[in-house]
Amino acid sequence: MRDLNLLPKAHLHLHFTGSMRVATLERLAERQGMRLPEGLTDNRALHVPSDQRGWFRFQRAYDAARKVVRSEESMRTIVREAAEDDAAESSRRLEIQIDPTSYAPFLGGITPALEIVLDEAKAANAATGVEIAVIVAASRIRHPLEARTLARLAARHAGDGPGDVVGFGLSNDERRGTTSQWASAFRIARKAGLPAVPHGGELLGPEHVREVIDHLAPTRIGHGVRSSEDSDLLGRIVDAGIALEVCPASNVSLGVYPDSRRVPVRDLVDAGATVALGADDPLLFLSRLTDQYEALRAQGFTDAELAGLAAQHREGGSDGAALAVSGSLHSSNPVSDGIDLKSSPAANREMGEKIVAALQGMGKGVKAITFLGQGVRYDSYLVQFADYADWDKLYDRFCSAMGIPKDSSTVRTEQYAGLPHAHEIKILRHEDTWHKLEKNDFESALKQYHGDFLIPCCIGADEGGKAVFADLYEAPHILVGGTTRMGKSVLVSSIMKSLFELNRQDSFEAAIFDPAANYSVFKTAPNLWQGGIHGERSRFLPLLENLVDEMNGRLALLREHDAEKIQHLPEEYRPKLLIVLLEELAALLDTDKNAEKPIIQMLQEGAKTGIHMILVTQEPNSQTFSSKLLANLPSRIALRVVKPGSSRMILGEGGAEYLTSKGDHLVKWNGSAARFLHGYNV
């Protein structure tokens, strides 16, 4: 008999916290002085009935384990050890599933929580040889609106390599919520090319599997084992090429089947279904990937069958349905092989050929190049390289080869999602050819909004002149900074105007603190907090303390209704959203240090109560802005600054010192990568 531990495999169903080693759990708990439930450390696999009470016991144990994960170090340890454990079982690929929401409070938000996992996945891949990708999963026990937020986050990190997000899932108790409620989140993910990999068909039977297929259009289904109970449904799954991630140990521990011999893998395979084996939560079930293969051997699967199953996992189904989500995430390729510049204007054709010559002179093979068009200030070219291109290392050499300045305003580059080794290269045109974005452009843009954001706002226009909308709910607070006369107030005015236009007037209030009278255009707005704009800086501290009192009242309301956020309150008890705009923040903190305390209080707890802050300042400095204040501002907008240090203070990185024109700005939304946008002249 073959040693199944040596069989090359892929591991496609493993949860982040549930992958933790027991020894690691104990070490982290001891370090933090936490007491663990006996069931997590007694070296006995969890066994519960398949009812609500059983799930509650499972969830309680899982939550206890999750509580020890409170630092970047602990998250990196879990990813690294999961890779090491999979490598020891000859796993060639691991797709680890995570909902970053649970870890966000300790790491500054969902974005850094996810990016830590992605970064460590790349490092662990290099160290172990296991190709590690990530699935972002929403939770059924959280509000569906939060799933949309996670889907947008997943979309920003979509790819097909180690350390990329390769799918979007939905986990936790199948009996919670209505599946259709999460359909919009899956649509968002699907637009980014991310396959749907939701859970279904373990605790609930065939009818729920049908709901998952109908509403979420899955590529794979987590578990799906109960589809064996309905031959018509199983045939539909086979015909659609939907793979099933079967986890025998989980099925037994959660009381779905009395023992692993009863898990109907044979029925699924004989019907032609593509089956992938997964360990689900080894921490709780004390059963890893090889153990799942051993369970099938005990059912009568031959070594040849098991080897074929493992090969299918690694390479995808024979019918072409990718099982390991490792191929291209997009079905269409906008670049045809070769130089596609014949239809371009002469100047752009010449520039495209110059780009190719420069890159080839640097030893970088170019598979294809296409002129994408003329933007507000830049001409854009899509370049597909023959192999990997690291622009951090190539940038200076490219600028030298092109004979243009080495700064991020003259040449901008960004990876083109969904196309291997592709980058968009933007070349700045002469100022005489720049397009202006005026008030009428802004008004027209707002009419084109058709999104599903909870608190939509317009944060500028991209290089193509298309309005960019964001969800203030995701932010959940914004710091806007830049030097004098670079368009801060105009930009913030446009953001505020978009909030007034895109949100129901009766759904929110705006508390505007404006000592410089920059926002007098809003003085007649009907939904101003306390009936007007506040301009006397000496009154700001007591007013901010009044806002804290309002926040505390809302927190008490949440506790009364056992709700996490105001969006979860019954509508009749739900207070209005409150947008707090505070101008000249640095000047306020310089004159009254006590003002920092209520601001930080609202930054820390305001979002859950529907209070969101927009803080505006001149170029900040470390003497004025504490690290605690900045740590609670994951969303940043920087206009032009004079000093690189000011850019780093606002954004956490340089670049704003290279912005060329009034209104141009860099945006980091909830910790995402900086994005270059233009402002509207409103």
Which residues belong to the active site? 202
Contacts of 668 (CB under 8 A, 6+ apart): 634, 635, 636, 637, 651, 652, 674, 675
What's the CA gap between 651 and 628, in Å, rounded? 15
How big is the chain, counted in residues? Answer: 682
Residue 395 tokens, joined:
């940038």
Phi first, then psi, for residue 221 (nearest 5°) are -120, 125
φ, ψ dihedrals at 4, nearest 5°: -65, -20
Neighbouring CB atoms inside 10 A of 645's CB total 15
Computed on alpha carbons and rounded to an integer, the radius of gyration of the chain in Å comes to: 27
Nearest alpha-carbon partner for 661 in 647, 644, 678: 678
Q: Where are the alpha helices (DSSP H) in 67-103?
A: 72-88
Ranges of H-type helices in 426-487: 439-447
Residue 460 dihedral angles phi and psi, to the nearest 5°: 135, -165
Residue with tokens 């000011």: 646
Distance CA 121, CA 668 (A): 23
Query: CB within 8 A of 187, min separation 6: which ones?
Result: none
Token pair 């964001």: residue: 470
How many CB atoms lie under 10 A from the CB of residue 81?
16
Which of 366, 279, 248, 206 minimizes the C-alpha distance to 11?
Answer: 279
Distance CA 652, CA 648 (A): 4
Q: Round to whole Å and give the CA distance between 268 and 165.
A: 28
Exposed (0-12), middle (13-18) or buried (19+): which is 82, by Cβ within 10 Å? buried
Residue 311 CA, distance from chain mean position: 31
- Are residues 286 and 256 in contact, defined by beta-carbon separation less than 8 angstroms? no
What's the angle, vertex CA 614, arms to CA 613 and CA 620, rounded to 5? 120
For the chain, helix (H) and strand (E) counts, in that order, are 23, 22
CB 652 within 8 A of CB 636: yes
62: left (phi over 0), alpha (psi -120 to 50) or beta: alpha
Q: Report how far residue 247's alpha carbon sits from residue 263's, in angstroms, rounded to the nearest whole number.
A: 9
Q: What's the CA gap between 175 and 183, in Å, rounded?
A: 16
Which strands sit side by side in the sheet containing 366-374, from one edge to the other? 338-340, 366-374, 378-385, 422-428, 411-415
Beta-carbon contacts of residue 593 (< 8 Å; ≥ 6 apart): none
**Rama region for 305: left / alpha / beta (φ>0; ψ in -120 to 50; rest):** alpha
> Using alpha carbons only, what angle is made at residue 669 by residues 666 and 675, rounded to the nearest 5 degrees?
35
Distance CA 626, CA 620 (A): 10
Query: For residue 629, what are the contacts with CB-CB under 8 A and spacing of at least 6?
Result: 596, 599, 600, 603
Instruction: Check: CB of residue 459 under 8 Å from CB of residue 664.
Output: no
What amino acid occupies position 597?
A: K
Token code pair at residue 132: 């590690």
- In angstroms, the CA 225 to CA 275 distance is 10
Contact 15, 169 (CB under 8 A): no
